Amino acid sequence: MNRKQHRAGNKQRARASAGTEAIFADALRRHKAGRIDEAAQLYQQVLAVDPRHADSLHLLGVIAHQVGTHDAAVDLIGRAIALNSKETSYHSNLGLALQGMGRLDEAVTCYRNAINLSPDSPDAWNNLGMAMRDQGRLDEAVDCYRKAIGLRPNFPVAHDNLGAVLQQQGRLDEAIASYAEALRVRPDHPEGHYHLGATLYEQGKLDEAIAAYAEALRLRPDYPEALSDQGVALDESGRQDAAVACYRRAIELAPDRAEIHNNLGNALKKQGALDEAVASYRAAIALAPGYPEAHNNLGNALGDLGRPAEAMGCYETALTMRPGDPRFWHNLLAATSYRDDLDAETLADTHRRFGKAFARPYPPLAPLDPDPNRRLRIGYLSSDLRDHPVAKTLLPLLRHGDRSAFALHFYADVNKPDQFTAGFREMADRWHDIGGLADAQVAERIRADAVDILVSLAGHLDRNRPEVCAWRAAPVQISMYDVATSGLAEMDYLIADCGLVPRRTSEFFTERVLRLPHFYGGLAVNADLPPLARSRPPGPPVLGCFNNPTKITPRILYIWGRVLAAVPGARLMLKYGRTYHSAELRRTFSEVLRSGGAAAEQIVFDWTGHEPLGDFLARYNGIDLALDPTPFSGSTTSFQALSMGVPVVTLPMDRMVSRWTAVMLRSLGLGRLIAESADQYAAIAIVVAGQVDAWYRQREEIRARLLASPLCDGGGGARTIERLYRAVWRRYCAGVSG
């Protein structure tokens, strides 16, 4: 090649280089504008001319990472590094692609290579923090994010990432500060407001969380995650209508997200729209068959519809997916209490399965001071230390207790404290909020407090946690106010009386049953009981049941239908919050009642919702006879009826849960209202319905008997319970000393 040809070649290459750089610059502009398909085509044009154009290889790899083809990204960026290993961004972006593939160790190496090349690169430090977070190395991730922020204080992504890790560590105040700093730099970032809302929600600051989600939605109205989470916060704050609206809009935007359908079901269930709730849960399950919460929640809704057998099937399905979830077990065990078609062995077997599932290899518990007469530390484990029947029953006992002989320790998982919670806290020698702690952690805390006797309250109901006792948290452990056995070998005793658990019972208990003379000593009475009506209004008899419909089985409905058929003109009032809003529930109950002989016009459903206690109790002035369900009899409900002087007819079965009302009636000398068979139940109800005027005249007497009975004797109940505690402690001391 002569000199002239060489100069011509150089000019041609220069023109080609200038052309590719112009194309590359155009590609880069389009890439930054988000027009990645156009940018990719231009990068490929550059590479067609210059296959060794490292920047085009690198950015084409970045696009591959952006669209999710991480393997192609790794190949392209790797080729760019082979051409130019000194470019920091190449190593950093290769790390992002590897991280997208889950190859975290290799990603960390890439980020460290980038940092070695440019120790002052905030992007590289931020990326290394993300990899550390994904590896579970949270403290190191925090350090990386802080390094990035130190290099670039106005770095909203790093502030946001730091907030996420701090939130994961439970350092919520610090997380909120990080999110706030990110929003100071970038206030128009909807994701930042969303993350802030999630942290505020976790702190229980519902109104502030709702406001943060609202700001995220103002900036990005089509943000399904923010809509869904705002719905959760609204739901918890009692604003179900607004929550439902959020969920429905979120479903419009993201119809394939099972968790939103599940959340919608939860809000609808609280509204009493059980039919719609069931449909929402089924929609969630159709989208995600392996979604245990949706199966569990469907079971809850079906239970509320009076279909406990189907509910149990849902809980069993949920347990196949998550065998160790205590919520699913509690719901399953509670559902057995509502069924009258299960024999004693089936009930026992279900509780044995629970006990086996939660048997724990706990460390030996060092014997405590075996002094039978010293001041004892009594621990109470409960989620019900709030406006709840358990709290209202326990509080009078503790207020009458001997504080010089017994110290009170509370281990409370109360998500919405109230004035009752405050009452327990005031009398506590020690109070521990255990929400968020694992069972083993709670047990360790109880051990550290050297609690002598731990009392698990209403273990299988609500959000209670009897599983803590499986870790042998205290040397003596007692179940109280539960409806059946705990099923736990580590639960030493169960408190009942001879009426609740007869001495020759066939019912299965893992505990030794302690029988008090009067189990209900200390039941709280509403200080402002509404006055009793002076005379009965004219008209046919009005029967009523204000129990949870979950307790009302087809068998008892059929009996009630027979009673209505035998008392022409009588009406049956069924009320429980908003539950009877369900057309399916009303239809099902009506069909069974009519099969027993009731006429449609005799059946009255009320779904006006919850109301102040005084107003609710005053409704009994319009009820002549309360009908008790079986096998899960009324307890608080029957007590409320009797406090208003209303007779209650009951049919105990072969288990403790069916005998609550019978115990109360015997205490008041009203044993004649206790039936021994379905026919006798119907006969008693028919007789009482024919004597409503006479029973109405006895209302003042029934109330007076109740108030004077051991059922309301807080002082007597406290002394009885404390004698029991002392007796079991002496038994423990004798065993240790022996």
Percent of the chain with pLDDT over 90: 75
If phi > 0 it is left, if psi is from -120 to 50 it is alpha, else beta; for residue 387 that is: beta
452/132: higher pLDDT: 452
- pLDDT of 96: 87
CA distance 276 to 563: 33
Domains of the chain: 27-259 (1.25.40.10), 276-357 (1.25.40.10), 376-516 (3.40.50.11380), 542-712 (3.40.50.2000)
> How far does Cα 158 stand from its chain's mean position?
33
107 or 286, which is more confident: 286
Segments in 220-273 forming alpha helices (H): 224-236, 240-253, 258-271
Q: Which residues contact 428 (CB under 8 A, 6 or more apart)?
A: 408, 409, 410
pLDDT of residue 522: 62
pTM of the model: 0.84
* Model confidence band, residue 488 (pLDDT cutoffs 50, 70, 90): very high
| Residue 41, SS3 per DSSP | helix
For residue 18, pLDDT over 80 is answered with: no
Q: What is the pLDDT of residue 723?
A: 96
Candidates 219, 222, 225, 159; CA nearest to 198 is: 225
User: How many percent of the chain have pLDDT more than 70?
Assistant: 96
pLDDT band at 738 (very low <50, low <70, confident <90, very high): low
Span 264-298, pLDDT tens digits: 999 999 988 999 999 999 999 999 999 999 999 99
Q: What count of other Cβ atoms lies within 10 Å of the Cβ of residue 250?
A: 26
Q: Which tokens hold the place of 49?
A: 């001319």
Q: Phi-psi category of 152—alpha, beta or left, where left has phi over 0 and alpha has psi -120 to 50?
A: beta
- Among 483-487, 620-624, 661-665, 714-718, name the one with the lowest average pLDDT: 714-718
Q: What is the DSSP string of 325-376?
A: -HHHHHHHHHHHHT-SS--HHHHHHHHHHHHHHT---PPPPPPP---TTSPE
* Residues 6 or more apart whose Cβ sits within 8 Å of residue 10: none
9 compared with 222, residue with greater pLDDT: 222
Instruction: Select the more confidently predicted residue: 382 or 111.
Output: 382
Q: Average of pLDDT values for 577-587? A: 92
Mean of pLDDT values over 143-152 = 94
Predicted local distance difference test score (pLDDT) of residue 7 = 47
- Structure tokens belonging to residue 513: 């049953």
186 in Cβ contact with 160 (< 8 Å): no
CB 434 within 8 A of CB 413: yes
Joined together, the tokens standing for residue 246 give 């959020």
Residue 13 is predicted with a pLDDT of: 45
pLDDT tens per residue across span 158-190: 999 999 999 888 899 999 999 999 999 999 999
The stretch 432-455 carries a mean pLDDT of: 95
The answer, yes or no, to whether residue 335 has pLDDT greater than 90, is: yes
Yes or no: say if 613 and 529 are a contact pair by the CB < 8 Å rule. Answer: no
Output the pLDDT for position 656.
95
725: burial class by Cβ within 10 Å (0-12, 13-18, 19+)? buried
The mean predicted confidence, pLDDT, of the chain is: 92
Using 50, 70 and 90 to split pLDDT, how confident is the model at 194? very high
Dump pLDDT digits (tens) for 627-651. Answer: 999 999 999 999 999 999 999 999 9
Q: Categorize the per-residue pLDDT at 2 as very low, low, confident or very high, splitting at 50, 70 and 90.
A: low
Residues 6+ apart with CB under 8 A from 696: 535, 536, 624
Average confidence (pLDDT) over 12-35: 76
Q: Which of 452, 485, 454, 450 is nearest to 468 (CA)?
A: 454
Instruction: Please state the rounded mean pLDDT for residues 392-416.
Output: 94
CA distances for 286 relative to 153, 279, 280, 319, 651, angstroms: 47, 10, 10, 18, 41
User: Is the predicted pLDDT of residue 545 greater than 50, yes or no?
Assistant: yes
The answer to whether 224 and 260 are in contact (CB under 8 A) is yes
Residues 543, 574: Cα–Cα separation, whole Å:
9
User: Per-residue confidence at 574, pLDDT binned at 50, 70, 90?
Assistant: very high
